[in-house]
Structure 1
Amino acid sequence: MLITTEVAWDLAYDAIFAQHGAAVDEADRDRLRGLDLTAVGLFLAERLHRPASSSALAEEALDLMRSHVDRVIAPMPGATQLVAELAGTRPVAVASNAPTDVVEAHLRRFFDLSGVVIVGGDMVDAPKPQPDVYLAACAALASDPADTWALEDSATGAAAALAAGLCVVGVPHTAGSFFPCHMRVGSLDDPHLRQALLGETTSGTR
């Protein structure tokens, strides 16, 4: 959402599919986007007809992602300015399925995280699409979910935010990707997004 880690994940999936004589399509990428590692392994095992290999496939995907991430990681367009503007006027949290230390390490390369709460998948009982990470983020911000915005780029994340009762802004990676949300924008530098987030007294979470 804020940084281009999805590029590294896509490269990892490309390699794994190729090893098994298959090719990733956009439907696969949409299904994989936003999943926790266990769910990634289960999806790959089913899709590649390797039902006994879900844990190994998940670990392979993680290792491949890590091998690519330093080369491709960068802030998403508009992310640096948006986070700086929000952090100066609103309580802000990052709610992710990834482990908290991994999220923080990646974000610190590009963002001032002073006052930003990070809630990773290792801090809650159930990952997205369950609402736990968003409910934990709202609790940490002392923010009512109904008065809190969530920015999401995946169906998995949007489902979690909606289940938690947040107002969801969809920022999909591809124009053809659709999932339920209250508002949809093309990128984080969309002026309509800034107007919505900075023009009302709400919190911002991801």
Structure 2
Amino acid sequence: MIPVTTHSPAAVLWDMDGTIVDTEPYWMQAETELVTSFGGVWTHEDGLQMVGNGLSVSAVILQKAGVRLEADEIIARLTARVEELLVSEGVPWRPGARELLAELRELQIPTALVTMSMSSMAERIVELIGFRAFDVIVAGDHVENPKPHPEAYLRAAALLDVPIEHCVAFEDSVPGVASAAASGAVTIAVPHIITLPEDPSYTLWATLAERTLADIATVFVENISDSEVVTP
């Protein structure tokens, strides 16, 4: 089945936390509980500096805040706690994300989940979406270099066997948009907790609500040369 739009990307690549699901408050709660358990203080502003970072980077910041654990144990504890909160509090979906994913799947546009969360959490979220939303998953434990390095996005495009320059990526954070843009993907930023400024390296959308493949295709065509356009 060929998409009905005139020019569509070869694939759409999705960040998870803050883009598809609003799990940032869960991460901040887990961080606060961990730091305070070691007698430290963790503020909302401290939590904001973690948004979009790879968990290995976050672990170092938490160690500096007084958490006397190895990085792997910090990552494991944070991940386990957030997974507990997903079960007890539910999955807080970002407006329009599931609907847009569903349309892309109906039109058979290849998709990838590109997240710095561990694969166990990524797989749990994917299961809860309710349909097969992604062709591949690239998680934090699949790459050596976390965002803002472009490795995760480049890996996703390689697994899908498509040129990264013909992909559109959705992100919500400073490290995320830096990663996606550096990879060569056409990047759409949908900021959530952190305000993102206007920047020529990405297109800003206020929300995914009511957005469609046609909107994605418009941004895609506007950001690549005519010779690069993927025709149906």
TM-score normalised per structure 2: 0.73
Q: CA deviation at 1:94?
A: 0.8
Percent of aligned positions that are identical:
24
Please give the per-residue CA displacement for 1:46-85, whole angstroms capped at 9, x wherever unaligned.
2x245x5452544443333233121132321111110011
**Map 1:3-152 → 2, pairs under 5 A:** 3-19=21-37, 20-26=39-45, 28-46=46-64, 48-49=65-66, 53=69, 55=71, 56-70=73-87, 71-89=89-107, 90-113=109-132, 116-152=135-171
Distance 1:42 1:148, change over 3 A: same
Larger Rg: 2
Q: CA deviation at 1:42?
A: 0.5
Local SS of the residue matching 2:129: coil
Q: CA deviation at 1:195?
A: 4.0
Q: CA deviation at 1:2?
A: 1.0
Local SS of the residue matching 2:113: strand
Q: CA deviation at 1:139?
A: 1.2
Q: CA deviation at 1:9?
A: 0.8
- Structure 1 portions without partners, runs of 5+: none
- Residue pair 1:77, 1:187 contacting (<8 A) in 2 also: yes
- Residue pair 1:162, 1:168 contacting (<8 A) in 2 also: yes
Q: CA deviation at 1:112?
A: 1.4
- Partner Cα distance (1:149, 1:8) in 2: 27
- Partner Cα distance (1:115, 1:97) in 2: 16
Residue from 158, 179, 182 that aligns with 1:163: 182
Matching of residue 187 in structure 1 with residue 207 in structure 2: yes
Q: CA deviation at 1:114?
A: 5.6
Please give the per-residue CA displacement for 1:167-199, whole angstroms capped at 9, x wherever unaligned.
1111111363448541111222154x7543145
Distance 1:179 1:34, change over 3 A: farther
Distance 1:49 1:168, change over 3 A: same
The number of residue pairs the alignment matches comes to 199
- Structure 2 portions without partners, runs of 5+: 1-18, 222-228
- Residue pair 1:78, 1:187 contacting (<8 A) in 2 also: yes
Local SS of the residue matching 1:65: helix
Q: CA RMSD in A?
A: 2.8
The one-letter amino acid of 2:56's match is T
TM-score normalised per structure 1: 0.81
Q: CA deviation at 1:14?
A: 3.0
Q: CA deviation at 1:141?
A: 2.0
- Partner Cα distance (2:140, 2:53) in 1: 10
Q: CA deviation at 1:12?
A: 1.1
